[in-house]
Structure 1
Amino acid sequence: MSRSPSSSAQRAREEVAARLRELRLDAGLSGRALSRRAGWHESKTSRIESAKQAAADADITAWCRACGAEGQTADLIAASRAADSMYVQWRRLHRTGMRRAQTSRIPLYESTSLMRVYTCTVVPGLVQTPAYAAALMGAITGFQKTPDDVAEAVAARMERNRVLHGGGHRFALVLEESVLHQRIGDAEVMAGQLGHLLSVMSLPSVSLGVIPHTARRGVWPLETFTLFDSVRVHVELLSAQVTVTAPGEVELYERAFAEQARAAVFGRAARRVITAARDALE
């Protein structure tokens, strides 16, 4: 797997690689000796120890056996899988369709007290209408060439979004004004979506801001990201979702969200921007 654009993911891989190297050294084995026992070329050992190549489950099993440390196998495999999950290609995440990705996030959404979302691309999934979600998911499925289960995925997203109306949760959403003008679906779909945003703004648990085109800002438009409390960030790239958990990086995204929120307008001013976008559809 290629290196993640997130240092959190790469750091996790490096920690697994360092533990494997320590096992080899504790066993008194050279890289060549371990490679011979494991049955592969010495260069593979070097790539794994330098975190240039992720170790597969079978590689870790063979490595631990070669070092006489079979008791470490399960723990190292779990750590390797956790590192691997920090950078997940969308095609892998959607390999059986999009519904599974929606339902798998329900526990995370339900356990989060404060969710903060910034987007410069599309309306956040939390506040999408069924028609908008269907148009967007249809486009994603076609682009990624993954199985088409859009109807089921939309239903799962709407079920997941019930968290908006549950107690004990707060949601802060910041959108670039361009999001309001980017056509996902036809004019009727967009009008319904913009009207829904105006409706969602009245929920006591929701704070929704829009960054106007003319805003003076301290931070440039960034990739879409979601903060789950202060412990986890999901960053959406074209090819993959990156999960950030390193405290220093999470803090960086918190600062970025605060800067974007400072550039945004809320309340009546945000309503005016959204209403103007809806009127422009006519």
Structure 2
Amino acid sequence: MTTASPSSSAQAAREALAVRLQHLRKDAGLTGKELSARCGWHPAKTTRIQKGAAAPSDSDIRTWCAACGADDQADDLIATARAVDSMYMEWRRLHQGGMRQVQEDWLALHEQTRHCRVYLSNVPPGFLQTPAFATALMTQITRFQGTPDDVTEAVATRVARSRFLYEGGHRYVVLMEESVLRFRTADPEAMRGQLRHLLAVMPLASVSLGIIPFTAQRTVWPLEAFYVHDDTMAVVETLTAEIKVTQPRELADYLEAFAGLAEMAVYGDAARSLIRAAIDALE
């Protein structure tokens, strides 16, 4: 199978907004040059906006709508543009005031989510992380990004997500590469605590935990971490950005990939054996 770039949903939404603006111009009977003259900017700017190559500002949209005699559509288009902008968010931008706010947003999203499918090839998901492990990981991220250090507050908010494991109505299906168990993301003591915590949550009715062994014959290659919320949105985490995928075609790709990864995973006693082996390797 082939999976589209996770940023393509954001680009497709940006292009859809550009088409709406282009239709406004055409409905007003204006050429690109005439619209540019009314807006007071160079025709090249109009071309970039219409191609989806440049994101229009709130002011640009209001000016465009005024030039087309469609002021009543400005607010809706601005809201659409802001939604598009939120689909691809750089971590440094999200963390410019620290990490706590992002963790609060994740807390709210998980509170609304009933069925969450999660695939990870790097670290355990936030809702399964121990405070010690989360502190080590988020300290690394803060230092790497050079953003304000509010790790203590952010960790408390991240760990608060674990309550959904015990509240009714939430279901988490988690797939991890065996490498997640082996990476020394934290010091040995914190890693042991994290791995033991995975063993502790496995019996919960709300959790299905599968481990993809190093030795598994691959039918889907290792991917970047992604979360599928109620089959309506996938959130993909890259090194530099959080990407929200909502296009049905791309969502179908992520669900197909998840199904393939699930077939390669082991569960129950076999998964516990891999976790215990990783704990033993820390001794």
Instruction: Output the TM-score relative to the length of structure 2.
Output: 0.97
Provide the residue aligned with 1:133 in structure 2: 134
Q: Per the alignment, do residues 83 and 92 of structure 1 end up closer, same or farther by CA in structure 2, a change over 3 Å counting? A: same
Provide the residue aligned with 2:219 in structure 1: 218
Instruction: Work out the CA distance in 2 between the residues paired with 1:5 and 1:109.
Output: 21
Instruction: Work out the CA distance in 2 between the residues paired with 1:247 and 1:126.
Output: 26
Instruction: Output the TM-score relative to the length of structure 1.
Output: 0.97
Shift of 1:68: 1.0
2:247 maps to a residue whose letter is A
Q: Deviations over 1:233-258 (max 9, x none)?
A: 00011110110011111111011111
Tell me the C-alpha RMSD between the 2 structures.
1.0
Alignment of 1:196-215 (within 5 A): 196-215=197-216
1:160 maps to a residue whose letter is R
Provide the residue aligned with 2:242 in structure 1: 241
Pair 1:42-2:43 in alignment? yes
Where does the alignment leave 5 or more consecutive residues of structure 1 unmatched? Answer: none
Q: What is the aligned length?
A: 279
Where does the alignment leave 5 or more consecutive residues of structure 2 unmatched? Answer: none
Provide the residue aligned with 1:120 in structure 2: 121
2:6–2:236 contact (8 Å) kept in structure 1: no
Secondary structure in 2 aligned to 1:148?
A: coil
- Which consecutive aligned stretches of 4+ in structure 1 deviate over 3 angstroms post-superposition? none
1:251 maps to a residue whose letter is A
Provide the residue aligned with 1:108 in structure 2: 109
1:103–1:160 contact (8 Å) kept in structure 2: no
Provide the residue aligned with 1:11 in structure 2: 12
2:6–2:245 contact (8 Å) kept in structure 1: no
Q: Deviations over 1:100-129 (max 9, x none)?
A: 001112232112111111011111111000
Instruction: Work out the CA distance in 2 between the residues paired with 1:221 and 1:49.
Output: 37
Provide the residue aligned with 2:253 in structure 1: 252
1:97–1:147 contact (8 Å) kept in structure 2: yes
Shift of 1:5: 4.6
State, as a whole percentage, how many aligned pairs show the same letter: 57
1:226–1:233 contact (8 Å) kept in structure 2: yes
Instruction: Work out the CA distance in 2 between the residues paired with 1:128 and 1:32.
Output: 56
Secondary structure in 2 aligned to 1:85?
A: helix
Shift of 1:7: 1.9
The farther-off stretch of 190-199 and 157-166 is: 157-166
1:102–1:160 contact (8 Å) kept in structure 2: no
